[in-house]
Amino acid sequence: MRSRNAVDQFIDEAKLGSSLAHPNIVPVFDFGKVGDEYFMAQEYVVGRDVSRLLRRHVERLGRPLDERLMLYVANEVLDALAYAHALCDEEGRPLGLVHRDVSPGNIMLTERGEVKLLDFGIVKALGRISTSETGVVKGNIDFMSPEQARSEPVDARSDLFSLGLVMHRGLTDQRLYTRSDGDFEHLRQASRGPTPAQLTRLDDLPLAGPILRRALAIEPALRYQSAAEFGAAVAPHAAGGKAEAAALVKRLFDDELRAHTA
């Protein structure tokens, strides 16, 4: 038996998803109920998420993702976030959308080199019908901002921090937060953010390092203050990224994707 809150949350999320119209966001085409089951119909994306792309890249090529590719991916995600963060209601009041789960598994690269942001399922918005339980931390701990891990109020800058962590993972194939000591310690690490030593190692990344140092600032006031500002920093390095992304997806997954579409 589904709880009323879970049903309300599903409906709320489906309505929100169907209102998002951006080329870098996977759209919700329809939602409803058949018998006792609820459904949501979304675009079928032919491609692979960044998590699988990174894993295959390391297996086949022996190294993490290239800086220019990761900066292109970030640029496209930031375009989607800039759109979502700026959305207003019918009276022109900001909706205050925050994705809250920007992570490698929620960013897809298509066979044509497009980048798609998925799963606004735990998105925060002002005045939403359904709400999360007080004190419940939702999202992927590996890619949470410190304030989200502390269950504090979050705004758009939390998504920017999470994207910085996605970039770090793609470029290093390393986690900033370890899981060996259990969930509580894992969450506590996320609540503190990167250590000075971890930030110093970003200097090994000539293009992305300086960008990530700012994106991963523990204090929100020291980060990029908007997706547009963050995007302006990565855009000069994103040229040609679509063709490179398409070629890489084809190189690493061509047989699998052809089997899917056959």
Tell me what pLDDT residue 27 has: 80
Q: Please check whether residue 38 lies inside any domain of the structure.
A: no
Which of 86-95, 111-120, 173-182 shows the lowest per-residue confidence on average (mean pLDDT)?
A: 173-182
Which of 26-30, 68-72, 249-253 shows the lowest per-residue confidence on average (mean pLDDT)?
A: 26-30
Q: Which helix (H) or strand (E) holds 109?
A: strand 107-110
Distance CA(262)–CA(244), nearest Å, equals: 24
Tell me what pLDDT residue 129 has: 40
What does pLDDT average to over the chain? 87
Q: Please check whether residue 229 lies inside any domain of the structure.
A: yes
Distance between terminal CA atoms of the chain? Answer: 38
145 has pLDDT over 70:
yes
Q: Please check whether residue 26 lies inside any domain of the structure.
A: no
Catalytic residue among 8, 66, 79, 101: 101
Please give the residue range of the domain that contains residue 90. 46-261
**Residues 64-76 pLDDT 10s:** 999 999 999 999 9
Q: Which helix (H) or strand (E) holds 251?
A: helix 241-261
Average pLDDT (50-63) is: 97
**Residues 35-44 pLDDT 10s:** 777 777 777 8
Backbone angles phi, psi at 196, to 5 degrees: -55, -40
Closest listed residue to residue 50, CA positions, set 77, 26, 31, 32: 77
Closest listed residue to residue 230, CA positions, set 28, 81, 78: 78
Closest listed residue to residue 98, CA positions, set 143, 139, 158: 158
pLDDT band of residue 130 (cuts 50, 70, 90) is very low
**Residues 117-127 pLDDT 10s:** 998 755 665 54
> The domain spanning residue 226 has which CATH number?
1.10.510.10
Q: Please check whether residue 57 lies inside any domain of the structure.
A: yes
Tell me what pLDDT residue 137 has: 55
For 1, other C-beta atoms within 10 Å of its C-beta total 5
Q: Which two tokens stand for residue 33?
A: 């109920």
Q: Please check whether residue 197 lies inside any domain of the structure.
A: yes
Q: Please check whether residue 202 lies inside any domain of the structure.
A: yes
* Residues 156 and 126 sit within 8 Å (Cβ to Cβ): no
Q: Please check whether residue 234 lies inside any domain of the structure.
A: yes
DSSP 31: E
Annotation marks residue 101 as catalytic: yes
> For the chain, what is the domain count?
1
142 has pLDDT over 70:
yes
